[in-house]
Structure 1
Amino acid sequence: MKSMTILYTIGDSLYVNLTNRCPCNCTFCVRHEKDSVCEGENLWLEREPSAEEVIEEFKKRNLEDYKEVVFCGYGEPLVRIDELIEVSKYIRSVSDIKIRVNSNGLADLVHGKNTAEMLKGWVDSISISLNAPSKEEYNEITKSQFGLKAFDGLLNFAKEAKKNIEDVQFSVVDCITEDQIERSRKISEELQIPLRVRKMIE
C-alpha cells in the first residue's frame, strides 16, 4: 500500500490533510485541476487517517521548525471535528505552536449542532471561506449540498466562531467580480470580521 500524505508543508506552515470529504463542490476548487498544491505531494487519501495515525505523523516532526499548524487538506477539515480536536489536544500537550483551521464554515449544518464552541481552547485561528456576498451567488459558486440555507449557516457559524476563537477571518477568492468582493467586504465589516482576498491557485 502506498503511503498517504497526512502532513505536508507550504513555506513554514505544517498542513494537516484529514479528509477528502466536503459539502461543497466549488467552481474554482484546485481539486478539479490537480492532485496537489504548490507542486507538492498527492493529497487524495486512500482512506481517512485515524487521529492516532495523524498524531504518529506529528511525532516524526519537530514543531519548532514551523510557525503554525493548519488543518487544511483536500477536504473540509471540520467534517472530522472530533478527530481534529483530538489531534489539537496532542499538539497542545507538546507545543504552544499556533493552530489554524481553514474552513467553509458549514460544520454546523454537517453535524447539526453548534461546532464553533467545540473548538474553544484548541484552535487559535480560523479562516472561513465567505466566497460570495449573497445566498444565491454563494450557491452558484460553491454548489453546496445544503443549497440556499448554506450561506446563512456559514454566517451563523462565523458569529459563533467570533465568540469562541481568538482570530477569525473571512476569505474570498479573486475569481469573483470586484462588485462581489466589495459586497463581501460590507458583510465582513458588519460582522466585524476581517476579509482577506485570496489569489486563485492556478
Structure 2
Amino acid sequence: MSSKRPNPSKRFAHEEPDTLVYQIDDRLYVNLTDRCTLACTFCPKHNGCTEVKGHELYLSERPAADTIIELIGDPTRYTEIVFCGFGEPTLRLKDLLTVAKAVKAQGGNTRINTDGLANRVHKRDVTGEMAECIDALSISLNAQDETTYNKHCEPSLKGSHTEVLKFIEAAAKVIPDVSATAIDGLEGVDVAQCAALAEERGAKFRARYLDVVG
C-alpha cells in the first residue's frame, strides 16, 4: 500500500471528531477507511487536502461496522448510501458488506465508488459477494492503457490496469448498474478509448471532472 499520508496537524489542531458519514445532495457517503491501493496524483489527499466539499475526512481510527450502521439510521432518507471516503472502501470488504446488507435489509440503495482492484487485493473474485447487497458500482478506470494509468495512479500492485479491466467485466455480469469512469482533461487520457473499453466489457461509462464529487 502507499505510504503517502497528508499532514493531519490542521485537523488535530481543531480536535474535531472523525467524519464517518457525510451528505452531499441527496446521497449519504460512508468514510470507511484511510487506506488506498493507489496514490493518484490528482487525488486531493495526495495534494495536501483532506476535505471534500467542507467535510473533513481524515480518520484517526477506522470505524466499526456497527457504528456506521447506527450513524446511517434510516437509509431510505437518501437516494443511495455510497461507500466512498478518504480511502478505498473495498480494502475493508467484510465491514463494507456488513453495512451494505444492513442498508438493503432496511430498503436502502447501495453504491461503491472503487478503484476496481478488490479482486487483486483479496485474491479472489468478490463481485458475487458484492452482488448480494450492492446495487451499483462506479469503477475508476482512469486511463486507456497501463502506461498512462501508472503515470497518474501510481499503483502499488503490478498489472493494476489489467486487473481493473477484468473487474469491470466480472462486475458487469452480476451487478445491475456498473459504470467505469475517467477524468476528462487529464493529460494523456483518451476518454473515448476509456468509454470503448468499458462498453466492450458490458459496463456504462461516465466522464468525471477534477474536484467534482457526487
TM (norm. structure 1) is 0.92
- Give the root-mean-square deviation of aligned CA atoms: 1.6
Identity %: 32
Check if 1:166 corresponds to 2:176. Answer: yes
Check if 1:67 corresponds to 2:79. Answer: yes
- Secondary structure at 1:15 match in 2: strand
- May I ask how many residue pairs the two structures share in their alignment? 197
Q: Cα–Cα, structure 1 residues 138 and 179, in superposed 2: closer, same or farther, change >3 Å?
A: closer
Aligned to 1:155: 165
The counterpart of 1:81, out of the listed 85, 93, 108, is 93
Aligned to 1:187: 197
Partners in 1 of 2:157 and 2:96 — Cα distance?
Answer: 23
Aligned to 2:72: 58
Aligned to 2:56: 42
Aligned to 2:11: none
Q: Cα–Cα, structure 1 residues 111 and 179, in superposed 2: closer, same or farther, change >3 Å?
A: closer
Please identify runs of 4+ aligned residues in structure 1 that moved more than 6 A. none
Does structure 1 conserve the Cα–Cα contact (< 8 Å) formed by 2:28 and 2:80?
A: yes
The one-letter code sitting in structure 2 at the alignment partner of 1:102 is N
Mapping of 1:1-202 within 5 angstroms?
Answer: 2-31=16-45, 32-39=47-54, 41-59=55-73, 62-94=74-106, 96-147=107-158, 149-177=159-187, 180-201=190-211
Does structure 1 conserve the Cα–Cα contact (< 8 Å) formed by 2:148 and 2:188?
A: no
* Structure 2 stretches lacking a partner, 5+ long: 1-14
Partners in 2 of 1:179 and 1:199 — Cα distance?
Answer: 12
* Structure 1 stretches lacking a partner, 5+ long: none
TM (norm. structure 2) is 0.87
Partners in 2 of 1:179 and 1:37 — Cα distance?
Answer: 24
